[in-house]
Amino acid sequence: MLRKLVCDDLIAERKYIAQNIVSTWISETEDRRAFTAQLARGLLGEDGEHCAATKDFDEPIKERLHKVVEKMANASPAVPTPPTAPVQ
């Protein structure tokens, strides 16, 4: 939904919406890493779909988006913690 809101060619104030979505939803916290990287890839048009807002981003925003995509690509997959037996 966020990607569509920003990337649609028909949205008039796309640039400002995109800037606010980036500042609000792009986070480097570990628990949001996968979501953030997926959104960043979409906003950069790196997910195979055209994103009209990509041309509206200034260099600092593009760098930030590329940084989170790269960070996710270089992150080791999370290792699930095995369940513990209940204490009796």
Q: Domain locations in the chain?
A: 2-74
* pTM assigned to the model: 0.74
Check residue 41 and give its pLDDT: 93
**What whole-number percentage of the chain has pLDDT above 90?**
23
pLDDT at 59 over 60: yes
* Contact between residue 53 and residue 4 where contact means Cβ atoms under 8 Å apart: no
Residue 84: pLDDT band (50, 70, 90) is low
| 71: DSSP letter | H
Task: Write the pLDDT tens digit of every residue in 9-28.
Answer: 777 778 888 888 899 999 88
Check residue 66 and give its pLDDT: 93
